[in-house]
């Protein structure tokens, strides 16, 4: 985008906010406010100029009719009050997913090269309507759209979110609801993590025990990773799986909303659920259970770990590859996209090192390090996928041991793996923990349920997916990852997803030059209101104080900050409850000695807005240098 366009864009948004605020997420490439507004009525017609636009027109009528009660019916034509037009001549700038939207007091026209562009145009149109358009029941009010001209197209072709359904099973109706939310934000990829240690979620008809055994575990509550192991003979009622008919239904539902589903079958590690069903595929052949969240591994500070229970397929056993051929034959038939994700992450090789078959294979391959067996395994898997017309996609560990040039890498351990992969000529999807892990705490760890890391919305919004020095042509795009060890319900999925998911939607769709955190905050707050109407859960952690400590000589120094503009932070250390008449934080302060308790609260415009944070001196001491 040229500098003149950036200036004009900012002026346009400012002008629009002076009239009717236009708070779109993700931000479009160009937005030019016009005078007046278009008002929906029972006489509003929805028309599409080509048959390919019919499905999108029908979706628009459904989106509008529930809250408005207007009963609008789409039809073929070129003169609708809301006109959906597929271009006769291809507009190179719009590409496959771009659109233009021209709303005047008389008419709304959305144009695109493809139905996908029309679909994203109607998502923008819905955001231009009042928040009550998100209502699940009819609302009596005026339905107006501010006059505006928008030209929009995505920066990246891969804009995704990963949903882990192994740790907790989500029904197909819940997955559909999640897909609806992704599509509204112009995400176009759902990475579906279907198998792991805690449950196998996809029916494989040739291997029925995968779901008869691998989809079910004992019922457990409490913090994941601290739960007791299954007892002999204990019932296993917790879990579930998708039949192949379920999968077909969800895939078709997603396709209609321009969302591609990429399935993940996580191998060779993270395979405990598969081994519970078929223990002969492991090195030890020992019977294991589908894990309910026990402490089955020990992690060390340098990133290495040890498994207490075997969860890895045996790379020296030909039966493993026959098993995987059956699995991938059926998976490939269910998912029409070109990729199958095969995991490859966190593969513990201790059992391989002790296995005579693995040692013999290493001698045969003339390799000295057991880690290199993963490269052998992944190359065997890639041959299986290639035979089925699929491309291999895996976490960045697949770079270890060597992979073919055609493999695509998902960089999750920071950006290092993505840089290495791109320099080697691999296509890359950027999804680093440091910006895109949506299971991390988004506020103070004393407020949110505890987990091992923290990621604030502002940090996610600040992400730049193309690393410096990397040819952008290798960066397909990126995604947010939502692991569900600590997320048992769809409501909590939403809580962890938003507003960080809104931030990442903008990172992957909008132009780099348009990024503006204070402006995003305004739009985010509008979407809080819209989410309330839509009954979508979200976190308000952006309003909480950020509490850091350091040492100033022998004194404990307190540093407070706010994530969003305009917050006033108040605190106490005298065992009183803070309010706007307590001490206002203005600069770092040395805390008094003694067994104090810090209490912090945020206000905006004279009203409390954030959570109360309470920290003992011991807790403050432990934070030194950590946040």
User: Over the stretch 453-474, which tens digit does the pLDDT of each residue have?
Assistant: 999 999 999 999 999 999 999 9
Are 158 and 476 contacting, i.e. CB atoms less than 8 angstroms apart? yes
Cα–Cα distances in angstroms (integers) from residue 88 to residues 94, 120, 373, 604, in the given order: 13, 19, 53, 51
Question: Residue 548: pLDDT above 70?
Answer: yes
Of 296, 172, 178, the closest CA to residue 240 belongs to 172
- Residue 21's pLDDT is 84
Rounded-to-integer distance, Cα 131 and Cα 128, Å: 9
Question: Residue 622: pLDDT above 50?
Answer: yes
Secondary structure letter of residue 111 according to DSSP: E
Comparing 554 with 400, the larger pLDDT belongs to: 554
Confidence of residue 401 (pLDDT cuts 50, 70, 90): confident
Query: Is residue 234 annotated as a catalytic residue, yes or no?
Result: no
Q: Report the chain's C-alpha Rg in angstroms.
A: 26
- Residue 18's pLDDT is 40
Comparing 317 with 400, the larger pLDDT belongs to: 317
Question: What are the strands, taking DSSP E only, across 224-367?
Answer: 238-239, 260-267, 297-299, 305-307, 339-343
Secondary structure letter of residue 585 according to DSSP: P
Catalytic residue among 174, 346, 525, 559: 346
Of 612, 592, 590, the closest CA to residue 602 belongs to 612
Domain with CATH 2.60.40 in the chain: 544-622
The gap between the terminal CA atoms of the chain, to the nearest Å, is: 36
User: Mean pLDDT across the stretch 620-627?
Assistant: 89
User: Mean pLDDT across the stretch 383-408?
Assistant: 90
- Residue 3's pLDDT is 40
pTM: 0.94
Element (H, E) at 599: strand 597-604
Q: Which fold is adopted by the domain 158-534?
A: TIM Barrel (3.20.20)
User: Mean pLDDT across the stretch 117-122?
Assistant: 98
- Residue 19's pLDDT is 55
**Average pLDDT, rounded, for the chain:** 94
Bridge partners for 37 per DSSP? 146
- Residue 2's pLDDT is 44
- Residue 309's pLDDT is 96
Per-residue pLDDT tens over the stretch 338-391: 999 999 999 999 999 999 999 999 999 999 999 999 999 999 999 999 999 999
Rounded-to-integer distance, Cα 102 and Cα 111, Å: 9
Classify domain 3-152 at the CATH class level. alpha beta
Comparing 10 with 424, the larger pLDDT belongs to: 424
Per-residue pLDDT tens over the stretch 2-52: 443 443 344 344 443 345 689 999 999 999 999 999 999 999 999 999 999
Rounded-to-integer distance, Cα 416 and Cα 471, Å: 14
What is 544-622's CATH number?
2.60.40
Q: Which long-range contacts (CB under 8 A, 24 or more apart) does 493-496 make?
A: 493/163, 493/170, 493/178, 494/181, 494/536, 494/537, 494/538, 495/537, 495/538, 495/539, 496/438, 496/439, 496/442, 496/539
Are 502 and 185 contacting, i.e. CB atoms less than 8 angstroms apart? yes
Per-residue pLDDT tens over the stretch 302-342: 778 999 999 999 999 999 999 999 999 999 999 999 999 99
Domain with CATH 3.30.379.10 in the chain: 3-152
């Amino acid at each position: 985008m040229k500098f003149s366009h950036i200036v004009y864009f900012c002026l346009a948004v400012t002008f629009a906010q002076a009239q009717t605020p236009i708070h779109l997420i993700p931000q479009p490439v160009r937005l030019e406010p016009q005078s007046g507004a278009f008002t929906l009525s029972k006489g509003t017609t929805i028309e599409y100029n080509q048959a390919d636009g019919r499905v999108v027109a029908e979706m628009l009528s459904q989106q509008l009719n529930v809250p408005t009660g207007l009963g609008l019916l789409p039809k073929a034509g070129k003169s609708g009050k809301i006109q959906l037009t597929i271009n006769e001549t291809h507009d190179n700038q719009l590409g496959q997913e771009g659109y233009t939207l021209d709303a005047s007091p008389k008419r709304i026209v959305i144009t695109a090269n493809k139905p996908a562009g029309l679909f994203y145009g109607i998502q923008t149109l819905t955001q231009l309507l009042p928040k009550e358009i998100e209502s699940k029941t009819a609302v009596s009010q005026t339905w107006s759209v501010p006059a505006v001209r928008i030209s929009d197209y995505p920066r990246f072709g891969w804009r995704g979110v990963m949903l882990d359904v192994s740790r907790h099973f989500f029904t197909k109706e819940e997955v559909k609801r999640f897909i609806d939310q992704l599509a509204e934000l112009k995400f176009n990829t759902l990475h579906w993590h279907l198998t792991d240690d805690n449950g196998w979620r996809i029916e494989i008809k040739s291997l029925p025990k995968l779901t008869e055994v691998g989809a079910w575990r004992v019922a457990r509550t409490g913090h994941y990773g601290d739960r007791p192991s299954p007892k002999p003979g204990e019932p296993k009622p917790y879990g579930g799986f998708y039949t192949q008919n379920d999968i077909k239904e969800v895939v078709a539902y997603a396709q209609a909303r321009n969302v591609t589903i990429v399935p993940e079958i996580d191998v060779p590690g993270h395979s405990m659920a598969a081994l519970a069903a078929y223990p002969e595929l492991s090195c030890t052949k020992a019977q294991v259970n589908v894990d309910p969240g026990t402490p089955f591994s020990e992690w060390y500070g340098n990133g290495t770990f040890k498994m207490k229970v075997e969860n890895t397929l045996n790379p020296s056993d030909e039966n493993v590859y026959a098993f995987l051929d059956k699995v991938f034959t059926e998976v490939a038939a269910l998912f029409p996209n070109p990729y199958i994700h095969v995991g490859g992450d966190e593969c513990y090789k201790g059992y391989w090192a002790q296995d005579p078959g693995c040692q013999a294979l290493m001698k045969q391959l003339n390799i000295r390090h057991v880690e290199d067996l993963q490269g052998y395994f992944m190359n065997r898997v890639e041959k299986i996928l290639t035979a089925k017309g699929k491309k291999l996609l895996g976490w960045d560990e697949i770079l270890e041991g060597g992979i073919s040039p055609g493999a695509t890498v998902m960089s999750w351990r920071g950006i290092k793996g993505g840089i290495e992969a791109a320099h080697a000529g691999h296509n890359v999807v950027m999804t680093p923990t440091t910006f895109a892990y949506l299971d991390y705490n988004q506020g103070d760890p004393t407020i949110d349920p505890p987990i091992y890391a923290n990621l604030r919305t502002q940090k996610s919004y600040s992400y730049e997916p193309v690393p410096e020095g990397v040819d952008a042509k290798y960066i397909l795009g990126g995604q947010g990852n939502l692991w569900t060890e600590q997320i048992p319900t769809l409501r909590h999925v939403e809580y962890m997803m938003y507003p960080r998911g809104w931030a990442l939607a903008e990172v992957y769709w909008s132009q780099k030059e348009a990024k503006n955190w204070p402006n995003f905050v305004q739009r985010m707050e509008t979407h809080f209101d819209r989410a309330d109407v839509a009954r979508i859960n979200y976190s308000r952690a952006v309003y909480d104080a950020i509490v850091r400590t350091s040492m100033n000589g022998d004194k404990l120094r307190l540093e407070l900050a706010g994530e969003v503009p305009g917050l006033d932070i108040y605190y106490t250390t005298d065992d009183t409850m803070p309010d706007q008449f307590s001490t206002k934080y203005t600069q770092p302060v040395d805390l008094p000695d003694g067994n104090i308790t810090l209490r912090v609260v945020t206000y905006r415009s004279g009203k409390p807005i954030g959570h109360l944070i309470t920290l003992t001196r011991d807790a403050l001491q432990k934070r030194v240098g950590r946040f």
